[in-house]
Amino acid sequence: MINIKNNLEEINKNLKNINLANKVTLVAVSKQQSIDKIVQAINCGQNIFGENYLQEALEKIDLLKEYKLEWHFIGPIQSNKCKLIAENFSWVHTIDRLKIAKRINEARENMPPIDICIQINISQENTKSGLSIDDLDNFASEIQTYKNLKLRGLMAIPSNLVSDEKLTLEFNLLRNKYEMMKKKYSSIDTLSMGMSNDYLLAIKNGSNLVRIGSKIFGKRT
């Protein structure tokens, strides 16, 4: 049986021990998890949650509106979903097209700016979403013209089932670009990389936000 309390305690202990200098933010990835499990996590002090699927997320946001939660959208974005994402989430981690950025910016009018990360395809796999790292500078410059978007950092999903050496190379590629971008844009403070299977290695390589699902909640329902 999954013990969410113990899982969160272990993860938060690891986050503190591995990065004593800087705080690491934990986004609990609750996609395809039950409301009961999410409430268990909330009762343990977790208040930041990540969702991949809009319709599922909107149902959860409504059912859990009595709690003061911060919702992050971490899935692929379709054009026709931009308005609802803009209206219901505090963060979006998967911005990699200007068309999507523009639509979210327009839909966020009369609300505080939404925090965003630009998704980078660091593994250069055709099956993965994300911007080429070579296109980042021009893309970020354009994002700055959208007043309802606040560029907070970079996000990536690395290669699957590869060695720690390969993962380290990919993480360091993004970290180096992140450090360069931080010098250019004062709003940038977030490097979103690391999931259940690789979050410790990601933190060792500079991540300060990790997205963890199965290590907290167990298998998806």
Domains of the chain: residue spans and CATH: 4-217 (3.20.20.10)
State the pLDDT at residue 161.
Answer: 67
Residue with tokens 């931080």: 182
Q: Tell me which residue of 2, 29, 28, 26 sits closest to 15, measured CA to CA.
A: 26
The C-alpha R_g of the chain, in whole angstroms, comes to 17
Report the chain's mean pLDDT, rounded to a whole number: 94
- Round to whole Å and give the CA distance between 218 and 120: 27
pTM: 0.95
State the pLDDT at residue 107.
Answer: 97
pLDDT digits (tens, 9 = 90+) for 132-167: 999 999 999 999 999 999 999 999 998 886 789 999
pLDDT digits (tens, 9 = 90+) for 88-131: 999 999 999 999 999 999 999 999 999 999 999 998 777 788 99
pLDDT digits (tens, 9 = 90+) for 24-82: 999 999 999 999 999 999 999 999 999 999 999 999 999 999 999 999 999 999 999 99
